[in-house]
């Protein structure tokens, strides 16, 4: 029976890097727990604070095998910087490096292939204002057309142009991507986008006429969310609870 190699980096990296590793590993475990993973495919990346280095999952491990120590540290070119038995998925990191290269505020990038985000992104009308969750995403949503597997370096510029200053990106025929200044913010943005897509498909499946949310309400939702979170972000408010959930699921992620 295969077992992922056990590593222990806690005392070999800075406290800032270790915290980033724990948050990112927790995010992988939560994505798996919510059923958003895709075998060993799709990726979540996070910047190591105060560096130009990034953490990403080892290629070949399922999300429930990811730990703080077996995350792989790379530069923007995807070069592995630590002594590790693991490799990364170069094609997978192409998307992440493209975003990190131009969005210095995006310390975490989540890219997933859930059924619901693929389905909604592929509809001609895309995401519709049919739920409160959709409002959070529509207020900062871009689109990037499918160009096949992300192995063409020329696609990076088009991806960068398409995400612009948006925090959510729908990838028709492909899935979705969210970014955030923290792992928690990127995770909550993906949560909102995923729920919005799920609800839209459920409504559309009824075949009945739906009630849309007015454009002015969609435009004002970000200010309202700021009031709800008392000046903090949704990720800052929600992440501690999500981190506790990850520990309850399996505390080994933090090793």
Please state the pTM of the whole predicted model.
0.91
Q: Where are any strands of DSSP class E within 89-192?
A: 108-112, 141-143, 168-171, 175-180
Higher per-residue confidence, 126 vs 92 = 126
Q: Where is pLDDT greater, at 3 or 39?
A: 39
pLDDT at 83: 87
Once rounded to an integer, what is the mean pLDDT over residues 155-178? Answer: 95
Residue 178: its pLDDT value, please?
97
Alpha-carbon span 110 to 45, nearest angstrom? 7
Residue 250 has a pLDDT of 97
Candidate CATH numbers 3.40.50.2300, 3.40.225.10, 3.40.640.10, 3.30.1300.10; the one for domain 15-246? 3.40.225.10
Contact 24, 71 (CB under 8 A): yes
Q: Nearest 5°: phi and psi at 33? A: -65, -35
Cα dihedral 186→188→194→197 (10° resolution): -110
State both tokens at 193. Answer: 């986008």
Q: Per-residue pLDDT tens for 205-250?
A: 999 999 999 988 888 776 665 555 544 567 788 999 999 999 999 9
91-105, 167-181, 216-230 — most confident range:
167-181
By percentage, how much of the chain surpasses pLDDT 90? 76
- Lateral strand order in the sheet of 72-74: 72-74, 54-56, 43-47, 108-112, 175-180, 168-171, 141-143
Sorting pLDDT into bands at 50, 70 and 90, what band is 106? very high
pLDDT of residue 43: 96
pLDDT in tens, 7-20: 778 888 999 999 99
d(CA 162, CA 184): 23
Distances (CA, A) of 145 to 175, 197, 215: 11, 18, 25
What's the confidence (pLDDT) of residue 86?
A: 92
Q: What is the pLDDT of residue 110?
A: 98
> What is the pLDDT of the chain when averaged over all its residues?
91
**In the prediction, which pLDDT does 148 show?**
75
User: What pLDDT sits at residue 193?
Assistant: 97
Q: Can you give the pLDDT at residue 9?
A: 80
What pLDDT is stored for residue 2 in this prediction? 46
Q: Say what the pLDDT of residue 176 is.
A: 97
């Amino acid at each position: 029976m295969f077992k992922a190699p056990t590593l222990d980096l806690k005392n070999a990296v800075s406290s800032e890097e270790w915290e980033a590793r724990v948050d990112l590993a927790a995010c992988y475990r939560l994505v798996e727990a919510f059923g958003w993973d895709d075998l060993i495919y799709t990726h979540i990346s996070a910047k190591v604070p105060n560096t130009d280095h990034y953490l990403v999952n080892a290629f070949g491990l399922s999300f429930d095998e990811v730990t703080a120590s077996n995350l792989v540290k790379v530069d923007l070119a995807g070069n592995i910087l630590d002594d590790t038995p693991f490799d990364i998925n170069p094609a997978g990191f192409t998307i992440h490096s493209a975003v990190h290269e131009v969005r210095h505020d995006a310390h975490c990038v989540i890219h997933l292939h859930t059924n619901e985000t693929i389905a909604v992104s592929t509809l001609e009308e895309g995401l519709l204002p049919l739920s409160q969750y959709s409002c959070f995403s529509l207020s900062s949503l871009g689109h990037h057309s499918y160009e096949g597997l992300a192995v063409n370096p020329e696609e990076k510029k088009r991806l960068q142009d398409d995400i612009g200053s948006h925090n959510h990106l729908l990838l028709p025929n492909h899935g979705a991507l969210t970014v955030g200044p923290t792992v928690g913010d990127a995770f909550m943005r993906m949560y909102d986008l995923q729920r919005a897509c799920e609800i839209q498909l459920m409504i559309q499946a009824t075949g009945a006429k739906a009630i849309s949310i007015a454009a002015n309400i969609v435009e004002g939702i970000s200010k309202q969310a700021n009031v709800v979170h008392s000046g903090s972000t949704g990720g800052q408010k929600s992440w501690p609870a999500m981190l506790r959930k990850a520990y309850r699921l399996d505390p080994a992620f933090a090793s």
